[in-house]
A and B are shown apart, each in its own frame.
Chain A
């Protein structure tokens, strides 16, 4: 299953809830959720823990827009819009967390 998050983990509990429920599948961070992929943020340890069982992706244009493309947590894969579509197409189901 592909989980899509679009809110900053520091102001919204979507990512936290997603990680609480989920222990497998793929996670794609877009829009303000890309802050969760940045080294040194408060969610970093939870992200690293999650990456033991999940594959984590981040949307590069959103990272670049926020000046964070050079400080992504190791192991997080950057994807472009085409990659976003490929992920959705390859997943049996997906959830866009609100």
Chain B
């Protein structure tokens, strides 16, 4: 396929409190079907989406966090997390349920600049 575009999904909302995180994941999976160059960025409360050990039985909501681990199977392997957002929430890479690349704010900004399409959630 010759017409591959760079898509970045920017996730800035915590899971469960709003529908954004789940909707983002749905769109990411759809995009994967079109063989595009997909990156996921997690910043601000979006980093909470990747927190290990989510247990949603008590709130009677689907726990969609295992889906992030399945992304690899759809050839979505570019997951980026902003270092400053992690640190501000007392989290480290070890707290995350999937392998990610941790970037500084400026590195994340540069990566964003390089995209053809940026979608915010």
Chain A positions within 8 Å of B, measured between CB atoms, are 1, 13-14, 17, 20-25, 93-98
Q: B87: CB under 8 A from chain A? A: no
B residues near A22, Cβ cutoff 8 Å: 109, 112
B residues near A95, Cβ cutoff 8 Å: 10, 112, 118, 120
Let me know if B109 and A93 touch, CB within 8 A: no
Q: Closest Cβ of chain A: how far from B114's Cβ, in Å?
A: 9
Q: B57: CB under 8 A from chain A? A: no
Decide yes or no: A23 and B109 within 8 Å by CB, A17-B12, A17-B43, A98-B12 being known contacts: yes
Which of A13, A24, A98 is the one whose CB lies under 8 Å from B120?
A98
A residues near B109, Cβ cutoff 8 Å: 20-23
The SS class assigned to the A binding surface is loop
What total count of A-B pairs have CB within 8 Å? 43
Let me know if B12 and A21 touch, CB within 8 A: no
Report how far A98 CA is from B24 CA in the complex, Å: 12
Report how far A36 CA is from B22 CA in the complex, Å: 30
Report how far A92 CA is from B113 CA in the complex, Å: 9
The SS class assigned to the B binding surface is mixed
Report how far A93 CA is from B108 CA in the complex, Å: 15
Subset of 27 A-B contacts with CB under 8 Å: A1-B112, A1-B118, A13-B44, A14-B12, A20-B84, A20-B105, A20-B109, A21-B106, A21-B108, A21-B109, A22-B109, A23-B106, A24-B113, A25-B113, A93-B113, A93-B117, A93-B118, A94-B118, A95-B10, A95-B112, A95-B120, A96-B120, A97-B12, A97-B120, A98-B12, A98-B13, A98-B121
Q: Closest Cβ of chain B: how far from A90's Cβ, in Å?
A: 15
Report how far A93 CA is from B5 CA in the complex, Å: 12
Q: 1/0 per position for B1-33, CB-CB distance to A under 8 A?
A: 000000000101100000010000000000000
Q: Closest Cβ of chain A: how far from B20's Cβ, in Å?
A: 7
B residues near A93, Cβ cutoff 8 Å: 113, 115-118
